[in-house]
Amino acid sequence: MADKKPTLLVVEDDEGLQAQLKWAYEDFDVVIAGDRESAITALRSEMPAVVTLDLGLPPDPDGTTEGFAVLDAIMELKPDTKVIVASGHGARESALQAIEHGAYDFYQKPVDIDALGLIVRRAFNLHEIEEENRRLVANASDDKTVLGRLITGAPEMVKVARTIERVASTSVSVMLLGASGTGKELLAQGLHDASNRADGPFVAINCAAIPENLLESELFGHEKGAFTGAVKTTEGKIESANGGTLFLDEVGDIPLPLQVKLLRFLQERTIERIGGRKTISVDTRIVCATHQNLESMIGEGTFREDLFYRLAEIIVRIPGLAERHGDAVLLAKAFLKRFASDMNPSVTGFAPDALTAIDGHEWPGNVRELENRVKRAVIMADGKLVNAGDLDFDGDDEDNAEVLNLKSAREQSDRKVIRHALARSEGNISSTAKLLGISRPTLYDLLKQYDLHA
Protein backbone atom coordinates (compact mmCIF):
# COMPACT_ATOMS: atom_id res chain seq x y z
CA MET A 1 0.00 0.00 0.00
CA ALA A 2 1.42 3.39 -1.03
CA ASP A 3 2.17 5.95 1.67
CA LYS A 4 -0.56 8.56 2.09
CA LYS A 5 0.34 11.88 0.56
CA PRO A 6 0.47 14.88 2.91
CA THR A 7 -2.65 17.05 2.71
CA LEU A 8 -2.47 20.58 1.32
CA LEU A 9 -5.58 22.76 1.70
CA VAL A 10 -5.91 25.43 -1.01
CA VAL A 11 -8.34 28.22 -0.07
CA GLU A 12 -8.93 30.03 -3.36
CA ASP A 13 -12.12 31.21 -5.14
CA ASP A 14 -10.61 31.49 -8.64
CA GLU A 15 -11.60 28.23 -10.36
CA GLY A 16 -8.85 28.53 -12.95
CA LEU A 17 -6.19 28.94 -10.28
CA GLN A 18 -7.76 26.11 -8.28
CA ALA A 19 -7.27 23.74 -11.20
CA GLN A 20 -3.74 25.01 -11.85
CA LEU A 21 -2.64 24.50 -8.25
CA LYS A 22 -4.25 21.07 -8.01
CA TRP A 23 -2.44 20.00 -11.18
CA ALA A 24 0.89 21.48 -10.07
CA TYR A 25 0.98 19.79 -6.66
CA GLU A 26 0.81 16.13 -7.60
CA ASP A 27 3.04 15.28 -4.62
CA PHE A 28 0.27 16.34 -2.22
CA ASP A 29 -3.34 15.41 -1.58
CA VAL A 30 -4.78 18.79 -2.60
CA VAL A 31 -8.12 19.79 -1.06
CA ILE A 32 -9.87 22.85 -2.53
CA ALA A 33 -12.07 25.34 -0.63
CA GLY A 34 -13.59 28.47 -2.20
CA ASP A 35 -14.97 30.30 0.83
CA ARG A 36 -14.75 30.57 4.60
CA GLU A 37 -17.34 27.92 5.43
CA SER A 38 -15.89 25.25 3.15
CA ALA A 39 -12.36 26.10 4.32
CA ILE A 40 -13.27 25.56 7.99
CA THR A 41 -15.12 22.35 7.13
CA ALA A 42 -12.07 21.04 5.23
CA LEU A 43 -9.77 22.05 8.07
CA ARG A 44 -11.83 20.05 10.57
CA SER A 45 -12.20 16.98 8.37
CA GLU A 46 -8.78 16.81 6.66
CA MET A 47 -6.50 18.32 9.36
CA PRO A 48 -4.00 19.62 6.76
CA ALA A 49 -0.46 20.47 7.83
CA VAL A 50 -0.21 23.33 5.30
CA VAL A 51 -2.79 25.78 3.92
CA THR A 52 -2.45 28.30 1.07
CA LEU A 53 -4.92 31.10 1.66
CA ASP A 54 -6.12 33.89 -0.65
CA LEU A 55 -7.18 36.76 1.61
CA GLY A 56 -9.72 37.94 -0.97
CA LEU A 57 -12.63 35.53 -0.58
CA PRO A 58 -16.39 35.92 -1.24
CA PRO A 59 -18.43 37.77 -0.21
CA ASP A 60 -15.51 40.25 0.06
CA PRO A 61 -13.28 39.25 -2.88
CA ASP A 62 -11.75 42.73 -3.18
CA GLY A 63 -11.02 43.02 0.55
CA THR A 64 -9.36 40.92 3.23
CA THR A 65 -12.01 40.51 5.94
CA GLU A 66 -13.02 36.97 4.95
CA GLY A 67 -9.40 35.87 4.49
CA PHE A 68 -8.40 37.13 7.92
CA ALA A 69 -11.47 35.47 9.43
CA VAL A 70 -10.32 32.16 7.93
CA LEU A 71 -6.76 32.71 9.16
CA ASP A 72 -7.94 33.50 12.70
CA ALA A 73 -10.17 30.42 12.70
CA ILE A 74 -7.28 28.20 11.60
CA MET A 75 -5.01 29.60 14.30
CA GLU A 76 -7.72 28.96 16.90
CA LEU A 77 -8.68 25.45 15.74
CA LYS A 78 -5.28 24.12 14.66
CA PRO A 79 -2.52 26.59 15.57
CA ASP A 80 0.30 24.31 14.38
CA THR A 81 -0.96 24.62 10.77
CA LYS A 82 1.43 26.42 8.39
CA VAL A 83 -0.66 29.02 6.57
CA ILE A 84 0.79 30.69 3.47
CA VAL A 85 -1.27 33.74 2.45
CA ALA A 86 -1.61 35.30 -0.99
CA SER A 87 -0.56 38.92 -1.34
CA GLY A 88 -1.66 40.89 -4.41
CA HIS A 89 0.46 43.65 -5.92
CA GLY A 90 0.89 46.45 -3.39
CA ALA A 91 -0.67 44.43 -0.58
CA ARG A 92 2.50 43.94 1.47
CA GLU A 93 0.88 45.50 4.56
CA SER A 94 -1.86 42.86 4.51
CA ALA A 95 0.75 40.12 4.16
CA LEU A 96 2.75 41.41 7.12
CA GLN A 97 -0.45 41.74 9.14
CA ALA A 98 -1.21 38.12 8.32
CA ILE A 99 2.22 37.11 9.63
CA GLU A 100 1.38 38.90 12.90
CA HIS A 101 -1.86 36.87 13.05
CA GLY A 102 0.17 33.65 12.86
CA ALA A 103 0.63 32.99 9.14
CA TYR A 104 3.80 31.13 8.21
CA ASP A 105 4.69 33.02 5.00
CA PHE A 106 3.17 34.82 2.03
CA TYR A 107 3.43 34.71 -1.76
CA GLN A 108 2.89 37.33 -4.41
CA LYS A 109 0.13 37.22 -7.00
CA PRO A 110 0.17 36.49 -9.88
CA VAL A 111 1.34 33.10 -8.66
CA ASP A 112 4.77 31.71 -9.57
CA ILE A 113 4.05 27.99 -9.22
CA ASP A 114 7.71 27.02 -8.71
CA ALA A 115 8.35 29.69 -6.08
CA LEU A 116 5.15 28.82 -4.21
CA GLY A 117 6.05 25.13 -4.41
CA LEU A 118 9.33 25.78 -2.60
CA ILE A 119 7.51 27.68 0.17
CA VAL A 120 4.94 24.88 0.50
CA ARG A 121 7.58 22.14 0.72
CA ARG A 122 9.54 24.11 3.29
CA ALA A 123 6.35 24.55 5.33
CA PHE A 124 5.68 20.80 5.27
CA ASN A 125 9.24 20.10 6.39
CA LEU A 126 9.01 22.57 9.28
CA HIS A 127 5.66 21.08 10.33
CA GLU A 128 7.28 17.64 10.38
CA ILE A 129 10.13 18.92 12.56
CA GLU A 130 7.64 20.45 14.99
CA GLU A 131 5.62 17.24 15.10
CA GLU A 132 8.79 15.36 15.93
CA ASN A 133 9.52 17.86 18.68
CA ARG A 134 6.07 17.29 20.20
CA ARG A 135 6.64 13.54 20.17
CA LEU A 136 10.03 13.96 21.80
CA VAL A 137 8.68 16.27 24.49
CA ALA A 138 5.88 13.77 25.18
CA ASN A 139 8.40 10.95 25.47
CA ALA A 140 10.56 13.08 27.75
CA SER A 141 7.70 13.21 30.26
CA ASP A 142 7.55 9.40 30.41
CA ASP A 143 9.38 8.09 33.49
CA LYS A 144 10.34 4.96 31.55
CA THR A 145 12.32 6.91 28.96
CA VAL A 146 16.08 6.45 29.33
CA LEU A 147 17.86 9.81 29.27
CA GLY A 148 14.35 11.24 29.30
CA ARG A 149 15.44 14.87 29.49
CA LEU A 150 17.43 14.69 26.26
CA ILE A 151 15.45 16.26 23.42
CA THR A 152 16.84 15.38 20.01
CA GLY A 153 15.83 14.18 16.59
CA ALA A 154 19.37 14.14 15.19
CA PRO A 155 20.93 10.75 14.41
CA GLU A 156 24.22 12.07 15.75
CA MET A 157 22.77 12.60 19.24
CA VAL A 158 20.59 9.50 19.16
CA LYS A 159 23.81 7.53 18.67
CA VAL A 160 25.34 9.28 21.70
CA ALA A 161 22.27 8.46 23.81
CA ARG A 162 22.37 4.81 22.75
CA THR A 163 26.05 4.57 23.72
CA ILE A 164 25.34 6.03 27.15
CA GLU A 165 22.42 3.64 27.63
CA ARG A 166 24.70 0.68 26.90
CA VAL A 167 27.47 1.70 29.29
CA ALA A 168 25.16 2.94 32.08
CA SER A 169 24.74 -0.50 33.65
CA THR A 170 28.49 -1.11 33.79
CA SER A 171 31.05 0.34 36.21
CA VAL A 172 33.47 1.73 33.61
CA SER A 173 34.70 5.30 33.80
CA VAL A 174 33.21 7.47 31.05
CA MET A 175 34.72 10.58 29.49
CA LEU A 176 32.45 13.00 27.64
CA LEU A 177 34.26 15.10 25.04
CA GLY A 178 32.57 18.12 23.50
CA ALA A 179 32.58 21.88 23.21
CA SER A 180 31.22 24.09 25.97
CA GLY A 181 27.45 24.21 26.08
CA THR A 182 26.79 20.87 24.36
CA GLY A 183 25.02 19.36 27.38
CA LYS A 184 27.75 17.26 28.99
CA GLU A 185 26.32 17.52 32.52
CA LEU A 186 22.83 16.62 31.25
CA LEU A 187 24.26 13.48 29.64
CA ALA A 188 26.24 12.64 32.78
CA GLN A 189 23.06 12.96 34.84
CA GLY A 190 21.26 10.77 32.32
CA LEU A 191 23.97 8.13 32.61
CA HIS A 192 23.63 8.19 36.40
CA ASP A 193 19.82 7.94 36.24
CA ALA A 194 20.06 4.93 33.90
CA SER A 195 22.62 3.11 36.06
CA ASN A 196 22.21 0.81 39.06
CA ARG A 197 23.48 3.73 41.17
CA ALA A 198 20.44 5.88 40.40
CA ASP A 199 19.29 5.75 44.03
CA GLY A 200 22.66 7.13 45.16
CA PRO A 201 23.88 10.75 44.94
CA PHE A 202 24.89 12.49 41.74
CA VAL A 203 27.64 14.95 42.67
CA ALA A 204 29.01 17.41 40.12
CA ILE A 205 32.01 19.69 40.35
CA ASN A 206 33.38 22.10 37.76
CA CYS A 207 37.14 21.84 38.13
CA ALA A 208 37.70 25.02 36.11
CA ALA A 209 35.48 27.14 38.34
CA ILE A 210 37.39 26.54 41.60
CA PRO A 211 40.75 28.19 42.39
CA GLU A 212 43.67 25.77 42.27
CA ASN A 213 44.48 26.20 45.96
CA LEU A 214 40.93 25.24 46.96
CA LEU A 215 40.26 22.42 44.48
CA GLU A 216 42.03 19.74 46.54
CA SER A 217 39.86 20.55 49.57
CA GLU A 218 36.72 20.54 47.42
CA LEU A 219 37.54 17.09 46.07
CA PHE A 220 39.05 15.34 49.08
CA GLY A 221 37.68 17.31 52.04
CA HIS A 222 39.63 18.45 55.11
CA GLU A 223 39.86 17.97 58.86
CA LYS A 224 39.24 20.74 61.34
CA GLY A 225 42.40 22.87 61.76
CA ALA A 226 44.07 21.48 58.62
CA PHE A 227 44.70 25.03 57.40
CA THR A 228 43.75 28.59 58.27
CA GLY A 229 39.99 28.89 58.03
CA ALA A 230 39.29 25.15 58.43
CA VAL A 231 36.99 25.61 61.40
CA LYS A 232 35.25 22.27 61.00
CA THR A 233 35.74 18.88 59.40
CA THR A 234 34.28 18.84 55.89
CA GLU A 235 33.89 15.91 53.52
CA GLY A 236 34.84 16.46 49.88
CA LYS A 237 32.91 15.82 46.68
CA ILE A 238 34.46 12.38 46.23
CA GLU A 239 33.29 11.25 49.64
CA SER A 240 29.86 12.85 49.12
CA ALA A 241 29.42 10.74 45.97
CA ASN A 242 29.83 7.45 47.86
CA GLY A 243 27.33 4.96 46.46
CA GLY A 244 26.59 7.18 43.47
CA THR A 245 28.28 9.04 40.63
CA LEU A 246 30.93 11.78 40.69
CA PHE A 247 30.91 14.07 37.65
CA LEU A 248 34.19 15.91 37.10
CA ASP A 249 33.46 18.68 34.60
CA GLU A 250 36.43 20.32 32.85
CA VAL A 251 38.77 17.66 34.19
CA GLY A 252 41.53 19.03 31.97
CA ASP A 253 41.86 21.97 34.36
CA ILE A 254 43.01 19.83 37.30
CA PRO A 255 46.64 20.82 38.13
CA LEU A 256 49.36 18.16 37.83
CA PRO A 257 50.01 17.68 41.57
CA LEU A 258 46.30 17.03 42.16
CA GLN A 259 46.19 14.68 39.17
CA VAL A 260 48.57 12.40 41.06
CA LYS A 261 46.27 12.28 44.07
CA LEU A 262 43.22 11.65 41.90
CA LEU A 263 45.03 8.80 40.13
CA ARG A 264 45.85 7.22 43.49
CA PHE A 265 42.18 7.35 44.46
CA LEU A 266 41.17 5.68 41.17
CA GLN A 267 43.70 2.90 41.77
CA GLU A 268 42.98 2.28 45.45
CA ARG A 269 39.44 3.64 45.88
CA THR A 270 40.42 5.24 49.16
CA ILE A 271 41.07 8.86 50.17
CA GLU A 272 42.51 10.83 53.06
CA ARG A 273 41.12 14.25 53.89
CA ILE A 274 43.58 17.14 54.02
CA GLY A 275 45.09 17.17 57.49
CA GLY A 276 43.76 13.69 58.26
CA ARG A 277 45.39 10.29 58.68
CA LYS A 278 42.32 8.11 58.43
CA THR A 279 41.89 6.12 55.22
CA ILE A 280 38.33 6.33 53.92
CA SER A 281 36.98 3.83 51.39
CA VAL A 282 34.75 5.36 48.74
CA ASP A 283 32.62 3.51 46.18
CA THR A 284 31.76 5.96 43.43
CA ARG A 285 31.62 5.87 39.69
CA ILE A 286 33.60 8.55 37.84
CA VAL A 287 32.19 10.38 34.83
CA CYS A 288 34.25 13.28 33.53
CA ALA A 289 34.05 15.83 30.76
CA THR A 290 36.22 18.41 29.03
CA HIS A 291 36.26 20.62 25.98
CA GLN A 292 40.05 20.46 25.84
CA ASN A 293 42.21 18.15 23.72
CA LEU A 294 43.65 15.90 26.42
CA GLU A 295 45.81 13.98 23.92
CA SER A 296 47.59 17.23 23.06
CA MET A 297 47.91 18.08 26.75
CA ILE A 298 49.52 14.67 27.35
CA GLY A 299 52.07 15.46 24.65
CA GLU A 300 52.74 18.84 26.27
CA GLY A 301 53.14 17.25 29.70
CA THR A 302 50.20 19.06 31.29
CA PHE A 303 47.97 16.01 31.69
CA ARG A 304 49.02 12.59 32.91
CA GLU A 305 48.65 9.79 30.39
CA ASP A 306 48.00 7.15 33.08
CA LEU A 307 45.20 9.29 34.55
CA PHE A 308 43.70 9.77 31.10
CA TYR A 309 43.39 6.02 30.54
CA ARG A 310 41.88 5.57 34.01
CA LEU A 311 39.26 8.22 33.31
CA ALA A 312 38.59 7.37 29.68
CA GLU A 313 37.72 3.68 29.67
CA ILE A 314 34.84 4.73 27.43
CA ILE A 315 34.99 7.96 25.40
CA VAL A 316 31.77 9.57 24.14
CA ARG A 317 32.15 12.45 21.70
CA ILE A 318 29.28 14.95 21.75
CA PRO A 319 28.56 16.85 18.52
CA GLY A 320 28.03 20.59 18.57
CA LEU A 321 24.53 21.96 17.99
CA ALA A 322 25.43 22.96 14.41
CA GLU A 323 26.10 19.27 13.66
CA ARG A 324 22.79 18.12 15.14
CA HIS A 325 20.56 18.78 12.14
CA GLY A 326 17.12 20.07 13.15
CA ASP A 327 17.80 20.03 16.90
CA ALA A 328 18.05 23.82 17.25
CA VAL A 329 14.36 24.22 16.40
CA LEU A 330 13.34 21.28 18.61
CA LEU A 331 15.25 22.64 21.60
CA ALA A 332 14.12 26.23 21.03
CA LYS A 333 10.48 25.09 21.16
CA ALA A 334 11.09 23.19 24.40
CA PHE A 335 12.93 26.14 25.99
CA LEU A 336 10.19 28.57 24.95
CA LYS A 337 7.50 26.40 26.50
CA ARG A 338 9.45 26.16 29.76
CA PHE A 339 10.37 29.85 30.06
CA ALA A 340 7.04 31.23 28.87
CA SER A 341 5.08 29.41 31.58
CA ASP A 342 7.19 31.11 34.26
CA MET A 343 8.20 34.44 32.74
CA ASN A 344 5.74 35.53 30.03
CA PRO A 345 2.65 33.32 29.60
CA SER A 346 1.37 35.47 26.73
CA VAL A 347 4.15 34.12 24.47
CA THR A 348 2.87 31.11 22.54
CA GLY A 349 5.50 30.37 19.90
CA PHE A 350 7.98 31.60 17.30
CA ALA A 351 7.33 33.77 14.25
CA PRO A 352 8.52 32.30 10.92
CA ASP A 353 11.54 34.63 10.73
CA ALA A 354 12.65 33.43 14.17
CA LEU A 355 12.45 29.76 13.18
CA THR A 356 14.42 30.46 10.00
CA ALA A 357 17.06 32.35 11.99
CA ILE A 358 17.32 29.58 14.60
CA ASP A 359 17.71 26.89 11.95
CA GLY A 360 20.30 28.90 10.01
CA HIS A 361 22.49 30.08 12.88
CA GLU A 362 25.77 28.24 13.53
CA TRP A 363 25.38 28.35 17.36
CA PRO A 364 29.04 28.68 18.41
CA GLY A 365 27.87 28.63 22.04
CA ASN A 366 25.85 25.47 21.40
CA VAL A 367 22.78 24.57 23.47
CA ARG A 368 23.69 27.00 26.25
CA GLU A 369 23.71 29.92 23.80
CA LEU A 370 20.35 28.83 22.37
CA GLU A 371 18.84 28.50 25.85
CA ASN A 372 20.04 31.95 26.88
CA ARG A 373 18.78 33.58 23.68
CA VAL A 374 15.34 32.00 24.01
CA LYS A 375 15.09 32.96 27.68
CA ARG A 376 15.91 36.60 26.91
CA ALA A 377 13.55 36.61 23.92
CA VAL A 378 10.63 35.29 25.97
CA ILE A 379 11.18 38.02 28.56
CA MET A 380 11.54 40.81 25.97
CA ALA A 381 8.85 39.75 23.46
CA ASP A 382 5.97 42.23 23.09
CA GLY A 383 3.61 39.97 21.13
CA LYS A 384 2.47 36.39 21.20
CA LEU A 385 5.22 35.25 18.85
CA VAL A 386 8.97 35.61 19.41
CA ASN A 387 10.56 37.11 16.30
CA ALA A 388 14.15 37.22 15.04
CA GLY A 389 14.69 40.63 16.61
CA ASP A 390 13.69 39.33 20.04
CA LEU A 391 16.40 36.68 19.58
CA ASP A 392 19.00 39.39 18.80
CA PHE A 393 19.40 38.24 15.20
CA ASP A 394 18.78 41.69 13.71
CA GLY A 395 21.80 42.58 11.63
CA ASP A 396 24.12 39.82 12.85
CA ASP A 397 23.20 37.50 10.00
CA GLU A 398 22.65 39.00 6.59
CA ASP A 399 20.64 36.04 5.42
CA ASN A 400 18.01 36.63 8.10
CA ALA A 401 17.24 40.22 7.04
CA GLU A 402 13.83 40.56 5.34
CA VAL A 403 13.77 36.79 5.18
CA LEU A 404 10.16 36.74 4.05
CA ASN A 405 10.86 38.80 0.93
CA LEU A 406 14.24 37.61 -0.34
CA LYS A 407 14.27 34.85 -2.90
CA SER A 408 17.87 34.10 -1.92
CA ALA A 409 16.83 33.51 1.68
CA ARG A 410 14.25 30.98 0.54
CA GLU A 411 16.80 29.27 -1.65
CA GLN A 412 19.26 29.08 1.23
CA SER A 413 16.60 27.62 3.50
CA ASP A 414 15.61 25.02 0.89
CA ARG A 415 19.24 24.05 0.33
CA LYS A 416 19.64 23.53 4.06
CA VAL A 417 16.47 21.45 4.36
CA ILE A 418 17.49 19.24 1.43
CA ARG A 419 21.02 18.78 2.81
CA HIS A 420 19.61 17.83 6.21
CA ALA A 421 17.20 15.35 4.64
CA LEU A 422 19.99 13.80 2.56
CA ALA A 423 22.13 13.46 5.67
CA ARG A 424 19.34 11.84 7.66
CA SER A 425 18.60 9.45 4.79
CA GLU A 426 22.30 8.71 4.23
CA GLY A 427 22.03 9.88 0.62
CA ASN A 428 19.15 7.55 -0.31
CA ILE A 429 17.05 9.42 -2.90
CA SER A 430 13.79 7.56 -2.23
CA SER A 431 14.06 8.04 1.54
CA THR A 432 15.04 11.69 1.12
CA ALA A 433 12.08 12.38 -1.18
CA LYS A 434 9.74 10.66 1.28
CA LEU A 435 11.14 12.69 4.18
CA LEU A 436 10.67 15.94 2.23
CA GLY A 437 7.18 14.96 1.08
CA ILE A 438 8.02 15.26 -2.63
CA SER A 439 8.40 12.92 -5.58
CA ARG A 440 11.75 11.55 -6.74
CA PRO A 441 11.63 13.52 -10.03
CA THR A 442 10.96 16.71 -8.07
CA LEU A 443 13.90 15.96 -5.79
CA TYR A 444 16.16 15.32 -8.77
CA ASP A 445 15.09 18.68 -10.22
CA LEU A 446 15.86 20.44 -6.94
CA LEU A 447 19.25 18.74 -6.65
CA LYS A 448 20.08 19.93 -10.14
CA GLN A 449 18.71 23.43 -9.50
CA TYR A 450 20.75 23.90 -6.34
CA ASP A 451 23.81 21.94 -7.54
CA LEU A 452 23.52 19.48 -4.66
CA HIS A 453 24.68 15.87 -4.68
CA ALA A 454 23.27 12.82 -2.91
* pLDDT score, position 410: 66
Q: What is the pLDDT of residues 338-381, one digit of tens each?
A: 999 889 999 988 887 888 888 888 898 999 999 999 999 999 88
Kindly state whether residues 7 and 98 are assigned to the same domain.
yes
In a domain, 83, yes or no: yes
Beta carbons within 8 Å of 112's beta carbon, 6+ residues apart: none
Q: What CATH number is given to the structural domain containing 47?
A: 3.40.50.2300
Amino acid at 374: V
pLDDT at 215 over 90: yes
Beta carbons within 8 Å of 416's beta carbon, 6+ residues apart: 359, 360
In a domain, 414, yes or no: no
In a domain, 350, yes or no: yes
In a domain, 442, yes or no: no
Weakest mean pLDDT among 180-184, 199-203, 412-416: 412-416
* pLDDT score, position 313: 92
Q: What is the spatial distance between Cα 297 and Cα 291, in angstroms, rounded to a whole number? A: 12
Mean pLDDT of the chain: 84
Kindly state whether residues 161 and 140 are assigned to the same domain.
no
Domain closes at, from 89, 122, 149: 149
* pLDDT score, position 205: 94
Structure confidence at residue 203 as a pLDDT band (50, 70, 90): very high
In a domain, 224, yes or no: yes
In a domain, 121, yes or no: yes
Kindly state whether residues 291 and 305 are assigned to the same domain.
yes
Q: What is the pLDDT of residues 69-126, one digit of tens each?
A: 999 899 888 888 999 998 765 567 787 788 878 888 888 778 888 888 888 888 888 8
Kindly state whether residues 388 and 342 are assigned to the same domain.
yes
Q: What is the pLDDT of residues 172-182, one digit of tens each?
A: 999 999 988 89
Q: What is the spatial distance between Cα 106 and Cα 352, in angstroms, rounded to a whole number? A: 11
Structure confidence at residue 206 as a pLDDT band (50, 70, 90): very high
Q: What is the spatial distance between Cα 256 and Cα 440, in angstroms, rounded to a whole number? A: 59
Kindly state whether residues 49 and 92 are assigned to the same domain.
yes
Q: What CATH number is given to the structural domain containing 378?
A: 1.10.8.60
Which one is predicted more confidently, 281 or 5? 281
Q: Give me the half-sphere count of Cα atoms (radius 13 Å) on the Cβ side of residue 445.
A: 8
**Among 185, 97, 123, CA closest to 383:** 97
Supply angle C-alpha 115, 392, 340, rounded to 5: 95
Kindly state whether residues 255 and 334 are assigned to the same domain.
no
Q: What is the pLDDT of residues 220-268, one digit of tens each?
A: 988 887 777 777 888 899 999 999 999 999 999 999 999 999 999 999 9
Tell me how many domains the chain contains: 3
Q: What CATH number is given to the structural domain containing 254?
A: 3.40.50.300
* pLDDT score, position 312: 92
Weakest mean pLDDT among 3-7, 14-18, 236-240: 3-7
Q: Which residues constitute the domain of residue 357?
A: 322-400
In a domain, 109, yes or no: yes
Mean pLDDT for the stretch of residues 26-52: 90
Kindly state whether residues 198 and 142 are assigned to the same domain.
no
In a domain, 424, yes or no: no
Kindly state whether residues 90 and 20 are assigned to the same domain.
yes
Kindly state whether residues 311 and 226 are assigned to the same domain.
yes
Domain closes at, from 290, 318, 346: 318
Kindly state whether residues 291 and 372 are assigned to the same domain.
no
Kindly state whether residues 143 and 194 are assigned to the same domain.
no
Q: What is the spatial distance between Cα 129 and Cα 135, in angstroms, rounded to a whole number? A: 10
Contact by Cβ (8 Å): 419, 433: no
Domain closes at, from 132, 149, 166: 149
pLDDT at 408 over 60: no
Weakest mean pLDDT among 256-265, 286-295, 305-314, 415-424: 415-424
**Among 262, 259, 257, CA closest to 236:** 262
Q: What is the spatial distance between Cα 42 and Cα 49, in angstroms, rounded to a whole number? A: 12
- Most confident among 149-158, 380-389, 395-404 (mean pLDDT): 380-389
Mean pLDDT for the stretch of residues 144-155: 65
Kindly state whether residues 293 and 353 are assigned to the same domain.
no
